[in-house]
Amino acid sequence: MDAQEWKEVFSFICSVEFWRMGVLWTLSLIYSYFQLFRQTLFSAKSKSKPYSPRCSPSSIATRRPICIVTGATSGLGAAAACALSREGYYVVLVGRSLDLLSKIASDIKEQSGDACVKAFQVDLSSFKSIWNFKREFQQWLSDMNMHCSVQLLINNAGILATRSRVTTEGCDKIMATNYVGAFCLTKILLPLLQNSPIPSRVVNVTSFTHRSVSSMKINKETISGKCFSGSRIYPFAHVYEYSKLCLLLFSYELHRQVKLVEQSSQVSVIAVDPGTVKTNIMREFPKCISQLAFFTLRLLGLLQSSEEGVCSILDAALAPPEISGVYFFGGNGRTLKSSPLSYNSKLAKDLWEASSDLFIELQLASGHTT
């Protein structure tokens, strides 16, 4: 390492964000496992089963169901796309890099000759790009003579940027990718999920870090992240936690909304937390810091590979259709209670309203109104 790199590492270690992640995130993770342990102990005594068995799509569909995976070019998204293809899904890969998308697509095809996979280049931090994806996707369905519906949407794309960046549409990059993009994509694809002849599902990939948020303000400034990117020191760890709590609140609210409109709604919504997984999520950290984090987590027995970490995502994706509005954690089909704040239905409603307003604003600004 040269002097510049040492300086970078030193200032990273001296930052509030480093200690926030080191202390609060570790405590949040340990608390989640402790809760899981208590739950397992309690259920062993009461002999109740706190887990959902997996349900293969081939048992309910007569043709290949369609599954859209965002952030499919790396880590958990790539692992989920491979695994869901093995489960019999027609996998639609969504990612930013065409090269990486082609690589994952050919990996999936290599794995099984009859795998069905299609890739779309989409930047989830851009409303315009998401809207174009919807148009291209519908065109593709029509060209392929396929039913105009989606059976599974996995909102997995996420970033942990260490520097403040503002998107062309004026949002903070972390909020735009981790929350606003997922909200807009789901809202745009909801008619296709509702049009499915078999039960369909939205799976939102959130994180235990949401537990570190003790109070939250919801308005357009916070959810677009404008108030964070404007601050003198960019609170990236807090923005990440906040984005994951928003995704969780959104999951529970969407679950309530779809059930409210139609009691026997075919669309279910599940939030999932993979725990700590060795992926590229810390790509913007100084290399020695991410290696130290992985080393410590491995020492504590808390680090999983992508193939292990993807189990919770598969549990959520393949849970029976009646399972909805829950939070999967820890693999083996187990669910957990998320933080008390995430169950605040008033906050969830405020978030829904503010996100819908932002959606309309982004839609008007992009010139796409139909």
Nearer to ligand NAP, 265 or 326 (CB): 326
Q: Which tokens is 181 given?
A: 């993009």
Over the range 188-204, which residues count as b (16 or more CB within 10 Å of their CB) and which as e? bbbebbbebeebbbbbb
DSSP 362: H
What SS3 class is residue 277? strand
Per rule CB under 6 A, is residue 117 in the interface with ligand NAP? no
Among 32, 69, 123, 348, binds ligand NAP (CB under 6 A): 123
Among 142, 280, 345, 356, binds ligand NAP (CB under 6 A): 280
Going from the C-alpha of 55 to that of each of 52, 156, 241, the distances in angstroms are 9, 21, 31
Left, alpha or beta for 367 (phi > 0: left; psi -120 to 50: alpha)?
Answer: left
Least gap, CB of 155 to ligand NAP (angstroms): 8
- All residues at 6 or more sequence positions from 353 whose CB lies less than 8 Å from its CB, including other chains: none
What SS3 class is residue 229? helix
Among 65, 274, 286, 330, binds ligand NAP (CB under 6 A): 274
Binding mask 183-222 for ligand NAP (x = CB under 6 A): ----------------------x-x---------------
Nearer to ligand NAP, 130 or 351 (CB): 130
Least gap, CB of 62 to ligand NAP (angstroms): 32
Among 281, 318, 358, 362, binds ligand NAP (CB under 6 A): 281
Nearer to ligand NAP, 124 or 223 (CB): 124
Instruction: Give the separation between CA 362 and CA 341, rounded to whole angstroms.
Output: 28
Identify which range of 117-125, 318-326, 329-337, 341-349 contacts ligand NAP by CB under 6 A: 117-125
Least gap, CB of 176 to ligand NAP (angstroms): 7
Per rule CB under 6 A, is residue 156 in the interface with ligand NAP? yes
Among 29, 203, 277, 362, binds ligand NAP (CB under 6 A): 277
Going from the C-alpha of 252 to that of each of 73, 117, 218, the distances in angstroms are 27, 30, 16
Per rule CB under 6 A, is residue 97 in the interface with ligand NAP? yes
Nearer to ligand NAP, 125 or 268 (CB): 125
Among 65, 88, 158, 286, binds ligand NAP (CB under 6 A): 158
Per rule CB under 6 A, is residue 125 in the interface with ligand NAP? yes
Using only the alpha carbons of the chain, give its radius of gyration: 20
Binding mask 52-91 for ligand NAP (x = CB under 6 A): -------------------x-xxxxx--------------
Nearer to ligand NAP, 75 or 333 (CB): 75
Residue found under tokens 């004026």 = 170
Question: What residues pair up with 69 in beta bridges, in sequence order?
Answer: 93, 154
Least gap, CB of 354 to ligand NAP (angstroms): 21
Instruction: Give the separation between CA 18 and CA 289, rounded to whole angstroms.
Output: 10
Per rule CB under 6 A, is residue 128 in the interface with ligand NAP? no
What SS3 class is residue 302? coil
What SS3 class is residue 13? helix
Identify which range of 21-29, 40-48, 153-161, 218-226 contacts ligand NAP by CB under 6 A: 153-161
Least gap, CB of 198 to ligand NAP (angstroms): 26
Per rule CB under 6 A, is residue 157 in the interface with ligand NAP? yes
- All residues at 6 or more sequence positions from 89 whose CB lies less than 8 Å from its CB, including other chains: 57, 64, 65, 66, 67, 151, 152
215 φ/ψ angles, rounded to the nearest 5 degrees? -150, 155
Instruction: Give the separation between CA 281 and CA 323, rounded to whole angstroms.
Output: 29
Binding site for ligand NAP (CB under 6 A): 71, 73-77, 95-97, 100, 122-125, 156-159, 177, 205, 207, 273-274, 276-277, 279-281
